[in-house]
Chain A
Amino acid sequence: MTGEVAVLGAGMHPWGKWGRSFVEYGAVAARAALADAGVDWRDIDSIVGADTVRGGYPGYVAGATFAKALGWQGARVTSVYAACASGAQAVGAARAQILAGLADVVLVVGADSAPKGFFRPAGGDRADDPDWLRFRILGATNPTYFGLYARRRMAVHGDTPEDFARVKVKNSALGALNPYARYRKRVSAEEVAASAVVADPLRLLDICATSDGGAALVLASIEFARRHGVAEPVRIRAVSTVTPRYPATVLDLPDIATDSAVAVAPPDETFRASIARAAYEEAGVGPEDLSLAEVYDLSTALELQWYEDLGLCGEGEAAKLLRDGVTALGGRIPVNVSGGLASFGEAVPAQAIAQVCELVRQLRGEATDRQVEGARVGISANQGLFGHGSAVIAVR
Chain B
Amino acid sequence: MTRSRTPVVAGWFTGEGDGFRLLGTRCSACASVFFPREDAFCRNPGCPGGELCEVPLSRRGRVWSYTDGRYRPPSPYVTDPELPWVPYALIAVELAAERLVVLGQAVPGVSVADLAVGMEVEVVPGVLNEDAETTWTTWHWRPTGVGA
Show the binding face of A for B, using Cβ within 8 Å: 117-118, 120-121, 125, 127, 130, 132-141, 143-144, 147-152, 155-156, 196-202, 246-247, 249, 251, 255-264
Contact = CB atoms under 8 A, between A and B. Distances in A.
A232 B73 CA distance: 50
Contact of A257 (B8, B70, B88, B102): B102
Given A136-B76, A156-B117, 13 more contacts: A125-B76, A137-B9, A138-B90, A150-B67, A151-B65, A151-B117, A155-B65, A155-B117, A200-B112, A255-B103, A257-B103, A261-B99, A264-B32
Interface of B: 8-10, 27, 30-36, 43-47, 64-71, 73-78, 88, 90, 92, 97-105, 112, 116-118, 128, 138
A133 B136 CA distance: 14
B131 to A, nearest CB: 13
Nearest to B8: A137
A120 B43 contact: no
16 contacts: A127-B10, A136-B8, A144-B67, A147-B67, A147-B90, A150-B67, A155-B116, A197-B70, A199-B67, A199-B68, A200-B68, A246-B43, A262-B32, A262-B33, A263-B27, A263-B44
B9 A198 contact: no
A121 B10 CA distance: 21
Contacts of B117: 151-152, 155-156
B70 A262 contact: no
A259 B64 contact: no
The 10 closest A-B CB pairs, nearest first, are: A147-B67, A155-B117, A139-B73, A139-B77, A261-B99, A120-B74, A152-B65, A260-B33, A263-B32, A260-B100
Contacts of B76: 121, 125, 132, 135-136
Contacts of B75: 120, 135
Q: Which of B64, B99, B117 is packed against the most chain A CB atoms within 10 Å?
A: B99
A387 to B, nearest CB: 12
Nearest to B74: A120
B127 to A, nearest CB: 12
A135 B70 contact: no
Contacts, number: 147
Contacts of A199: 67-70
Contacts of B68: 147, 199-200
A148 B100 contact: no
A260 B34 contact: yes
Contacts of A263: 27, 30-33, 44, 47
Given A151-B65, A200-B68, A251-B92, A262 B74 contact: no
Contacts of A137: 8-9, 128, 138
A274 to B, nearest CB: 15
Nearest to A132: B76
A134 B77 CA distance: 9
B98 A262 contact: yes
A196 B97 CA distance: 38
A199 B71 CA distance: 8
Contact of B69 (A139, A260, A262): A139
A164 B99 CA distance: 30
A134 B92 CA distance: 13
B45 A127 contact: no
A55 B35 CA distance: 33
Contacts of A134: 103
Contacts of B97: 262
B90 to A, nearest CB: 6
A263 B104 CA distance: 24
Contact of B36 (A151, A246, A249, A256): A256
A136 B67 contact: no
A259 B8 contact: no
Nearest to A134: B103
A71 to B, nearest CB: 38
A151 B100 contact: no
Nearest to B102: A257
A136 B136 CA distance: 11
